[in-house]
Amino acid sequence: MADSDFPDDLKAAQTRLHQATAEHAALVRTLPWSVEPHDGWPGTEHPHTGEISGGRDPSPGWSDEQKAVVAQLRQECLALSAAVTTHPYWQTLSGEDVYKARMRLKALTRPESVPAVDVVTAA
């Protein structure tokens, strides 16, 4: 089956799902660690080295605007996921062919370059 066999609306929904998921991930990486304001907590001092590990700095929480944007992106991702998985196209396939086609669709619509995630910053 050629990649062009996927309906245009299915490809568009899957493409937007990739984009919305990436936008959501990028946004939440920039936000404070706690949704609500939090005082944080002190770390624990190692008894031999004196090094302090763990703990969190205070968090100002998210603004109402930030909460709204995150909620909107989450809702969009959920709606797109439902649109992709319940698309009538999948009923034209059966068994293992559904899985194979789903993986092909994801690969076909995935952005060419995915930005590297700084694991230290993201954590």
**With bands split at pLDDT 50, 70 and 90, how would you rate the model's confidence at 123?**
very low
User: What's the pLDDT at 112?
Assistant: 78
Closest residue by Cα to residue 74 from 24, 113, 18:
24
pLDDT at 2: 53
Cβ atoms of 42 and 64 within 8 Å: the answer is: no
Question: Among residues 54, 61, 14, 15, which one has the least CA distance to residue 37?
Answer: 61
CB count within 10 Å of CB 18 equals: 15
Whose structure tokens read 């196209």? Answer: 89
The pTM score is: 0.79
| Token pair 């920039």 in the structure block, residue | 30
Q: Are 73 and 98 in contact (CB under 8 A)?
A: no
**2-12 pLDDT tens trace:** 556 999 999 99
Q: What is the pLDDT of the chain when averaged over all its residues?
A: 90
